[in-house]
Amino acid sequence: MTDRPLEGRIALITGAGRGLGKAMAEGLAAKGARVALLDIERDVLATALREVEASGGQGCAMAVTADVTDPERARSAIDEVVDGFGGLHIVINDAAMGPQFFTNDFVGDPPVFWDVDPELWLRVLTVNAYGPQLVTSVAVPHLLKAGWGRVINITTSLDTMYLRGCGAYGPSKAALEANTRVMAHDLADTGVTANVLIPGGPANTRMIPEATGLARDELVQPEAMSAPVCWLCSTDADRINGMRFIAALWDESLPPDERVAKAGAPVAWPQVNSISQRPDGWEHEDL
């Protein structure tokens, strides 16, 4: 089997200028994909581009500066990728504003919710929840046209969704998690799938400030995202839709079924015993 199984695939990763987005870009490029690195910060993209090309070869990556919440720019950015690379198959919604926008120390000194700046709360919700909705809506017709594709949304661990002191961060990720289930439903049987991938704990990026006092070597390292994201983007995962995967539990030494059972679960919270009582004629649909 080739060691570049993603040859011919074209991916767009938002928030790819640094952190987990850049690590996933390096991983996908090393497996043969061409990768568009999108970030709101132009400066970080130059370095990221060099590093991703070092993994996948010259010309395997392009940089796109854009704000994922700007509808006009989202559309033109995706046009740039499709024109530049000749199509689009994979969208990874990684760009986010983290807890550090609310406090440098959500471990030792979490602010109470009524002290949070309402405009900042709304901006974080907009970037983290609306951004993926916007980018995916604009991109998905290209994936459907190709007849094969992946939407991968980066959310967070369940307990982080209600972690104190992080303002809109947790709620915004809960919204993206729920929206992934909607996406998976709507994409069923199209050849395009929608799934969630999370690191599985605080990761060693700028999102976890030094002021938290957490030991950097005990954090999830960004490279942990690489193997599960490459697998999700391979044809081996063609039947995986509406799932969430924990990178820290991804164990390549296991056979694929056991790997999926260990690190995967249905996306969102279908197991929670609070399904609504619906009137006759409006049944619950499952994936």
Interface stretch with ligand NAD, choices 84-92, 95-103, 178-186, 258-266 (CB under 6 A): 95-103
45 contributes a contact to ligand NAD by CB under 6 A:
no
> What's phi and psi for 153, nearest 5 deg?
-105, 130
Torsion of CA 98, 100, 102, 106, to 10 degrees: 110
Residue 244 binds to ligand NAD (criterion: CB under 6 A): no
Q: In what order do the strands lie in the sheet with 90-93?
A: 61-65, 34-39, 10-14, 90-93, 149-154, 192-198, 243-246, 264-266
Exactly one of 29, 33, 90, 154 binds ligand NAD (CB under 6 A); which one? 154
A 10 A CB-CB count for 239 gives: 7
162 is catalytic: no
| Selected binder of ligand NAD within 39, 139, 143, 212 (CB under 6 A) | 39
Distance from C-alpha of 138 to C-alpha of 116, rounded to nearest angstrom: 32
Residue whose tokens read 């303002």: 167
Report the distance separating Cα 38 and Cα 27, nearest Å.
16
Stretch of residues binding ligand NAD (CB under 6 A), selected from 5-13, 27-35, 112-120, 194-202: 194-202
Which of 27, 32, 56, 98 is the binder for ligand NAD (CB under 6 A)?
Answer: 98
Is 68 among the residues that bind ligand NAD (CB under 6 A)? Answer: yes
Among 133, 136, 156, 180, binds ligand NAD (CB under 6 A): 156
Residue type, 61: A
Number of residues that bind ligand NAD (CB under 6 A): 31
- Pick the catalytic residue: 101, 130, 169, 250? 169
d(CA 74, CA 234): 26
- Listed in sequence order, the residues at least 6 apart from 278 whose beta carbon sits closer than 8 Å to its beta carbon are 284
For ligand NAD, the closer CB: 33 or 96: 96
For the chain, the farthest-separated pair of C-alpha atoms sits apart, in whole angstroms, at 59
What are the Cα distances from residue 253, in Å, to 90, 200, 201, 225, 227?
A: 26, 19, 21, 16, 11
Quick one: which segment of 53-61, 114-122, 183-191, 200-208 binds ligand NAD (CB under 6 A)? 200-208
Region near ligand NAD per CB under 6 A, out of 89-97, 137-145, 253-261, 275-283: 89-97
The residues annotated as belonging to the active site are 169
Summarize as ranges the residues that interact with ligand NAD (CB under 6 A).
14-15, 17-21, 39-41, 44, 67-69, 94-98, 127, 131, 154, 156, 198-199, 202-203, 205-208
